[in-house]
A and B are shown apart, each in its own frame.
Chain A
Amino acid sequence: MNRKDRSWQIGGWLVLMGLLAACAAPVAAPPSTADTDAVGATPAAETAAMPADPWYTAAELTYSWINICTDTPPQYGGTLISAGEDRAMTTNTWFDASPTNQYLFSQLVDLSTELEIVPDVAERWEGNADNTGYTFYLRQDVTFHDGQPLTAADVKFSLEMLYHEDVGSGITGLIPLAKIEGAAAIDAGSADEMSGLVVVDDYTLQINFTEPVYNLVDSIGAFNIWPQHLLADIPFAQLRDSEYAKKPVGSGPFRMGEFVPEQYYVFEAFDGYFKGRPYLDSIVFRIGMTDSVAWIAALEKGEIHVGGTILGADRERLRENPAIRLVGAAIPGAFSIWPNTERLDKRVRQALMYALDRQAIVDGIFYGGTQATVWEYKSADPKGEWVGPETPEFPYDPERARALLSEAGWDANQELAFVSYYTRDTDQAAQAAMQQYWADAGIKVRIETMDSGTWGTRVYEQADFDLAQGCCGPANWIEFQQWYSCDTLYPDGWNAPRYCNAEVDNLVNAAVSEADPQQRQTLLHQATVMAADDLMTMGLWSENRMTAVRGEVCNFRSRQWAEPFPAMLPETWYLAGQ
């Protein structure tokens, strides 16, 4: 070929080389210590000497749920772009989102990522002797985004709004609103306000209950404090269509900015936030970016800073990427199977558990246990507050499984129906593995996948299943009482395993009204031991739920525990390199 052709050819090769080089150059991120291999708190490892005026503690360095940037101190400025998964609103309707929004609103108390209850708007609180009345003393420097001060009247209004049937924001299960004095009058229609909510003065609120309520503080943080002065005039049934709904006003670290339905919304820093102005200037949430391909590609490219959570091969990919950090920890609830307790004998249920080598599944399918860990009942309550230490465990024991089956007179030709709507690749691999373990033990299981609405009908309305794959299992004792008692069998409730054990119900009911905390704990322990032995839910493994973020999102924290979820403290996040 002639010289002109040749120079084109050489030029082409150079361009190609350039492109390859550009691809290969890794994107460097500031060094940080969110250890992407370990989950939970790692023992205090050998680290470089902390700076003179540290912005973190030695303990925080060991937590897998905070991304500490050891090189860059906190700095103001920057816009964070988020795929919107981590408990942000991902649809267009505010009132259907998760119970607490930590960006726009404040709560009375917060659950910290270290799983302690800490003050937020309420500085301190006290309960009376028989736990029928609580008094909350509020801070006096909290204001809403429009400058109006937040007072006890707003708190009272918020609780009444939540109890109203037109609002239905869905958190009424966590806080025992129905037990507040005056709730019955509201139900009857004879009152608009709850007499049990007493505004003692602008910054003191008293809540009086009709019966003793223990550990109210554990759940009282599960609602946002709404501004009475903006909402009192709007009929609750029209809240969704109101102007307020498009631009909510709260007292949180960020205020509502632009909102383009289906696309994105923007939060802007609130200068008057009582804990101090957030470091970030603004946060942009992209709506609907739930597909993992979309946010992983965007995160790798740097189009977004905060991604979502994921399991499987892609999580490995993110873990190996030096520019990305995985932030989070194990969740207390397990990926579970609900057995149809009316169809399956207790010994068969136990056999099904003993037949599974869950450690092998977790090691093989969940990348050597980095993505999930085997779950026993105790995992839901590490401190032993409600789950008894003697709750049985179900290690891999195929011999015992077969013995139980023959004891129960099991017919090996019978086929159990396993219904599921989970179709992620890790789920499918796990289902295939479980099916084989069961087959090896002599139990034939047919796996049926269906869409979620059909699953709901099969499990609840028709109870036509043997094993149903569901999520999470009881994460606290309130759920225990509300989902799995004899009173909540469909259609009176949503008791998927159709579990009805009168003894357990009696124990739990006694515990609820028991004054002595020690005795209460004993009762709960007894109840959980019995329920675990009955295999009310077959908890398999718990996920190490980690949110993927870019390394430069410093102080990002995320942990999913029982609801209300631990506070993410978005006001403390900052972007390195601004």
Chain B
Amino acid sequence: MSEPSELPTPIAAAANPPPRTVAHPPSLWRQPALRRFLRHRLAVAGTLFLLALCIITFPLAPVVTQGNPNRVDLRAVSQPPSWQHPLGTDMAGRDVWSRLIYGGRISLAVGLVAVLIYLTIGIVLGSIAGYVGGTVDAVIMRITDTVMAFPGLIILIAIVALIGPGLFNTMLAIGLMGWTGVARLVRGQILSLRAMDFVVAAQGVGVAMPGVIVRHLLPNVVPQILIAASFGIAGSILSEAGLSFLGLGVQIPTPSWGNMLNAAQSIQIIERMPWLWLPPGLLITLCVLAINFIGDGLRDALDPRMSHKA
């Protein structure tokens, strides 16, 4: 399997340079990678979408909406979309469009920060465990086992009581409970990659451990990590709302996509009042898609042999 092949094949795109190793030498971290990324249309679309979302929800929110997402109007409860309320009103008569935009602030922040927290912890621990092996691997993995075995509910109740509710604490809590999957994923990949020639070669040349991990091993794990990130963002957004009954997440009256979705826990609302849940659900799906396409784009950018017409 490690026998290099010089024969051109009918399957591989003719434009690709002859494959020599599985991973890429460090020089590709510069310009060509960026250009390859930009050629991937969906990845670019995804990036632009996320940027646009951030701009609309953060600085532009008051411009785009009428201003107050929390204004209760009991005479206009549960109304379908109309001119005054482009996405209708919710059960307390609040404008759904405003809540969607302002809710995006919370959800995007939670999604991105929580995922960053657990990706960081997971990648660091997983790669060290996978690369070093031996006792270090055993210790880290047993710690991972312990954290995975923790029953979430009772711990969250205790944590909320100890450090208090609040958005950042919520992100921390979600992040601290979610890193184990990423750690195991990364460790698994690294275990299978570390015996490969290019790694041995890099070690032979004298590259230190962090260098080997960061420059040679991790780029191969990037696609998996990004899938985890995309699902993780959706999961974090939904967790923020799902845990609100414990006091985590945002409290009434602050909107978030998650808690807008949570209000739709009845068949009547799902069937007859789609304006309440479709918009947030759609936006979360689009975010997940966007990250996935960005992941595809990064994968193509970092490994030239895998780019296709996009």
Contacts and interface: CB of A to CB of B under 8 A. Distances in A.
A431 B259 CA distance: 15
A83 interface: no
A446 interface: yes
A297 interface: yes
Contact of A446 (B90, B93, B251): B251
Contacts of A433: 72, 74, 92
Contacts of A316: 268
A428 interface: yes
A451 B246 contact: yes
Given A361-B74, A450-B247, A435 B252 contact: yes
Interface string B255-278: 000000001011111001100000
Nearest to B71: A436
Contact of B74 (A296, A317, A360, A449): A360
A449 B249 CA distance: 10
A431 B71 CA distance: 13
Given A449-B251, A454-B247, A436 B267 contact: no
B65 interface: no
A317 B267 contact: yes
A194 interface: no
Interface string A105-127: 00000000000000000000000
A364 B75 contact: yes
A297 B77 CA distance: 25
Contacts of A314: 266-268
B268 A449 contact: no
B207 interface: no
The DSSP consensus for interface residues of chain B is: loop
Contacts of A52: none
Contacts of A449: 244-247, 251-252
A425 B266 contact: yes
A423 B265 CA distance: 11
Contact of B247 (A364, A365, A448): A448
Nearest to B271: A317
B246 A450 contact: yes
Contacts of B251: 446-449
Interface in A285-300: 292-293, 296-297
A316 B161 CA distance: 38
Interface in B74-114: 74-75, 77-78, 90-94
Given A364-B93, A454-B161, A435 B253 contact: yes
B252 A431 contact: yes
The DSSP consensus for interface residues of chain A is: helix
Nearest to B161: A454
A436 B269 contact: no
A450 B251 CA distance: 10
Contacts of A451: 157, 245-247
A432 B72 contact: yes
A313 interface: yes
A312 B161 contact: no
B224 interface: no
A231 interface: no
Interface residues of A, number: 34
Contacts, number: 95
Contacts of B161: 454
A429 interface: yes
B165 interface: yes
A421 B74 CA distance: 23
Contacts of A431: 252
A93 to B, nearest CB: 23
A450 B265 CA distance: 19
A61 B118 CA distance: 63
A432 B245 contact: no
B77 A364 contact: yes
Contacts of A293: 265-267
A426 interface: yes
Contact of A428 (B78, B157, B246, B252): B252
A563 interface: no
Interface in A304-324: 312-314, 316-317
B74 A432 contact: no
Interface in A410-425: 421, 423, 425
Interface string A365-396: 10000000000000000000000000000000
Interface string B160-176: 11000100000000000
Interface residues of B, number: 31
B144 interface: no
B171 to A, nearest CB: 18
A363 interface: yes
A476 B77 CA distance: 35
A365 B267 contact: no
B70 interface: yes
A378 to B, nearest CB: 25
A372 to B, nearest CB: 13
Contacts of A312: 91, 266
A312 B160 CA distance: 30
Contacts of A421: 245
Given A293-B266, A293-B267, A364-B77, A425 B247 contact: no
Interface string B59-70: 000000000001
A447 B72 CA distance: 15
Contact of B92 (A296, A429, A448, A453): A429
Contacts of B272: 313, 317
B124 to A, nearest CB: 33
B248 to A, nearest CB: 9
A415 to B, nearest CB: 12
B266 A432 contact: no
Given A293-B267, A446-B251, A365 B74 contact: yes
A292 B266 contact: yes
Nearest to A453: B157
Counting chain A CB atoms within 10 Å of each CB, the highest count among B92, B244, B265 belongs to B92
Counting chain A CB atoms within 10 Å of each CB, the highest count among B90, B93, B266 belongs to B266
Nearest to A314: B266
B246 A432 contact: no
Contacts of B268: 313-314, 316-317
A163 to B, nearest CB: 36
A421 B93 CA distance: 23
Nearest to A426: B91
Contacts of A426: 91
Given A425-B263, A447-B251, 15 more contacts: A296-B266, A312-B266, A313-B266, A317-B268, A360-B74, A364-B75, A364-B77, A365-B74, A365-B92, A423-B245, A428-B263, A432-B252, A435-B253, A450-B246, A454-B157
**10 nearest A-B residue pairs (beta carbon):** A364-B74, A313-B268, A429-B92, A317-B268, A429-B91, A314-B266, A447-B252, A450-B247, A436-B72, A432-B253
20 contacts: A293-B265, A293-B266, A313-B78, A313-B91, A313-B266, A313-B273, A360-B75, A364-B92, A421-B245, A423-B244, A425-B266, A428-B91, A433-B92, A435-B252, A447-B251, A448-B165, A450-B246, A451-B157, A451-B245, A454-B161
Interface of B: 70-72, 74-75, 77-78, 90-94, 157, 160-161, 165, 244-247, 251-253, 263, 265-269, 272-273
